[in-house]
Structure formats: C-alpha cells, structure tokens
C-alpha cells in the first residue's frame, strides 16, 4: 500500500465526519460517530481503528487495498465515496451458505469480547463474512440449527438472533465493522451511528456492489469510506454548501479517481463558464453521469447563468437507471 493511501486512512479515521461501510449488495454494516463521542483511535501502517460504545471499525492498511474515489447521482444531488478495493482473485472469504459456528472471536477489538462465540450467518457473499457474536446461551440454541439456511422457511435461528440483539460483526480481507446497537424491528428505523442492513431480496443477486458504483476492472470493493459531503450533513439533510469539503473530495478524485471522468467534468465546467451552449458530450454511462454531477455541483456552488440553465435543461433530466438509489444502503449524501 502506498504511503499516500495509508496516510488517507489514518487521516480519515480521525475525522468524526467521515463515515464507513463494509459488506455486499444487500448486507452492509455502517460505522459513524458523533464529534463529541468518546472514541479510542489507533493509527499505524498495520492497524487503523476507531472504537466507541456503539460500535467499532478496524482496517488493515497493510492488506494493500487500491483506493478509488468516485461520485454518483442521487435523486436531487450526488454521492461521493472512496472504495477500498482488493483484486478479485484475492478477496474471497469463507462463502458459507448456511449458519456455521466459527468459535471464539479472538480478533475482537475489545478484550471482553474475545471469548464470545462467532456464528457466520451464511450469506454466501464472495468477499465478506456476516457474523453475530453471541452469548453462551444463544450459542447453544443456534448450534441446533447449524448447517441450515437462516432464511429457510420454518428456521427459527434468525428470530432468535433478532430477539437477542447480539453484536453484528461484518468482516472482509481489509478488516471488520462491529455494531453493538440494537437491531431495529422490521418496521423500525435504523439507529443513528453504527448499524447494519440485511435485505435478503438483494442478497439473492450475488453482486459484490451496486451496478451504479464504478470500480476498477478486476477489483472488488471490500470497504468504503465517505468523507464529509459538501451539501449534506451526517444524517443526509441538506446544509449550506461547504466549499472546503467539496475541494477536498475533488482533490481525492484527482489523486485516485478516473482521470477520464475528471476530464469530462472539467470540460463541462469550462464550457459553462465560457457561456457556451450545450453540446454533445461523448462518453460511457459514467461519463454521462459525470456531466450531470458537474452541473449540479456548479448550481450548489451558487453559479447562476443562462448557460448553466441551458445545460441543466439539456442534460440533467430524470434517468432512473443512472441514479444511486440502489446504493442507498451505504451512507451517501
């Protein structure tokens, strides 16, 4: 892993506004913390971690992820993410497809959790294991259903887990996110801070990430970080545009994003600033998305002109297939 990438993780783990996720399409753990929340941080070339009373994230920079920054469309704005990618041939985890006991969780960041038993829920994802860390009493009950699909009709295992509210521990080659907060009921809202989403309907797609997320060829995103969004707060609510946050993420894209996307955005910005009328912009799906994002960002920055109005009318029309809605399991502004 490059020194620059290691520095990125060490810097962002210290920023309480940066949020994190780890999982697959249909099952994901998210980690975030409040600015004034007590936290135990670790920052080195071997371990980058944050531990609070609500959850934890532990990443291993020496696992050599490729860092890839990108943006996507949302219904009214845009998202931004940094994917931490591993080559597909190196990313595989257990790929269990049934409930299985793993044993004591010796890798738990809190010493008091290291004798508690991990059970893999058996979601069968390529690059992540989805586990619960349980008490001895619950472990005894779950052992009776080991080897069964937790979503199998009549299997009581998932119901036991929902009632017991054990820690959720989602693990990839890059590390883990742990969630200590209660699991919300099916009709409930996820709590603020660390939480998990599990959607069996999406899991059945066996996709490693949303189709709307660009990822370098041959790579799989094994974790994500979400630096502060310039137009949305940590809860996704609109706020006054923060130019510093915007500039910081554009610098990340310049350093570790797709240079063609960056060039397309710059061509659009230059054309609008020059007062040029809308023109055809060649490019693939992500190129078209980048045109719309550039225009939306100019609007949020306060730019107003007849040229921008014309470009928005020509390019920023509803196109559901290009939005980030299916990536809404991740925290993105």
Across 293-319, average pLDDT: 92
Across 152-174, average pLDDT: 96
Sign for the pseudo-dihedral over CA of 59, 198, 164, 129: negative
Of the candidates 119, 329, 133, 91, the residue with the CA atom closest to the CA atom of residue 222: 91
Q: Give the chain's mean pLDDT.
A: 91
Tell me how far apart the 2 most distant CA atoms of the chain are, in Å: 70
Report the SS3 class of residue 45: coil
- Per-residue pLDDT of 77-104, as tens digits, reads 999 999 999 999 999 999 999 999 999 9
Report the SS3 class of residue 261: helix
Q: What pLDDT does residue 63 have?
A: 79
- Whether 28 has a pLDDT exceeding 70, the answer reads yes
Q: Is 259 exposed, middle or buried (CB count within 10 Å of its CB: 0-12, 13-18, 19+)? A: exposed
- Per-residue pLDDT of 121-132, as tens digits, reads 999 999 999 999
**Confidence band for 333, pLDDT divided at 50, 70 and 90:** very low
Across 164-193, average pLDDT: 90
Cβ neighbours of residue 253 closer than 8 Å, sequence gap 6 or more: 69, 70, 71, 261, 262
Quote the DSSP letter at residue 250. H
Of the candidates 59, 256, 262, the residue with the CA atom closest to the CA atom of residue 176: 59
Domain ranges of the chain: 3-227, 258-322
Across 288-296, average pLDDT: 94
Provide the token pair at 291.
């045109």
Distance CA 74, CA 69 (A): 16
Helices 3-13 and 243-256 cross at an angle (nearest 10°) of 150
Q: What pLDDT does residue 329 have?
A: 44
For the chain, where are the alpha helices, taking DSSP H only? 3-13, 136-143, 157-164, 200-203, 243-256, 259-273, 285-300, 306-315
Strands 219-226 and 78-87: antiparallel
Q: Is 148 exposed, middle or buried (CB count within 10 Å of its CB: 0-12, 13-18, 19+)? A: middle
Which residue has tokens 């709590």? 191
* C-beta contacts of 103-110 below 8 A and 24+ residues apart: 105/133, 105/169, 107/176, 108/133, 108/169, 108/178, 109/49, 109/51, 109/56, 109/58, 109/178, 110/51, 110/56
- Whether 23 has a pLDDT exceeding 80, the answer reads yes
Phi, psi of 83 (to 5 degrees): -85, 135
CA 202 to chain centre: 16
- Whether 189 has a pLDDT exceeding 90, the answer reads no
- Per-residue pLDDT of 211-234, as tens digits, reads 889 999 999 999 999 999 999 998
Across 23-37, average pLDDT: 96
Least confident of 100-104, 175-179, 313-317: 313-317
Q: What pLDDT does residue 327 have?
A: 54
Q: What pLDDT does residue 1 have?
A: 46
Cβ atoms of 28 and 197 closer than 8 Å? yes
């Amino acid at each position: 892993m490059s020194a620059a990438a290691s520095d990125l993780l060490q810097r962002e783990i210290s920023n309480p506004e940066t949020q994190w996720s780890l999982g697959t399409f249909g099952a994901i753990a998210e980690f975030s913390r409040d600015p004034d929340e007590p936290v135990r941080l670790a920052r080195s070339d071997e371990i980058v971690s944050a531990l609070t009373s609500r959850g934890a994230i532990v990443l291993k920079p020496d696992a050599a992820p490729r860092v890839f920054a990108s943006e996507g469309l949302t219904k009214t704005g845009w998202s931004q993410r940094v994917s931490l990618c591993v080559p597909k041939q190196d990313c595989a985890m257990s790929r269990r497809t049934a409930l299985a006991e793993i044993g004591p969780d010796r890798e738990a960041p809190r010493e008091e959790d290291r004798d508690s038993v991990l059970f893999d829920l058996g979601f069968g994802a390529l690059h992540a294991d989805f586990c619960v860390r349980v008490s001895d009493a619950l472990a005894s009950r779950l052992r009776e259903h080991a080897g069964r699909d937790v979503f199998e009709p009549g299997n009581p295992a998932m119901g036991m887990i929902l009632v017991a509210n054990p820690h959720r521990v989602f693990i990839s080659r890059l590390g883990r996110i742990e969630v200590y907060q209660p699991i919300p009921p099916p009709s409930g809202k996820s709590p603020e801070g660390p939480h998990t989403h599990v959607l069996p309907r999406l899991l059945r797609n066996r996709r490693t990430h949303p189709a709307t997320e660009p990822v370098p060829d041959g790579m799989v995103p094994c974790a994500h970080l979400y630096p502060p969004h310039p137009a949305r707060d940590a809860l996704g609510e609109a706020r006054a545009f923060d130019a510093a946050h915007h500039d910081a993420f554009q610098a990340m894209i310049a350093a570790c994003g797709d240079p063609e996307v960056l060039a397309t955005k710059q061509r659009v910005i230059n054309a609008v600033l020059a007062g040029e009328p809308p023109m055809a912009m060649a490019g693939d799906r992500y190129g078209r998305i980048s045109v719309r994002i550039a225009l939306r960002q100019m609007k949020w920055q306060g730019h107003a002109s007849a040229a921008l109005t014309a470009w928005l009318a020509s390019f920023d029309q509803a196109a559901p297939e290009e939005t980030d809605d299916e990536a809404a399991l991740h925290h993105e502004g």
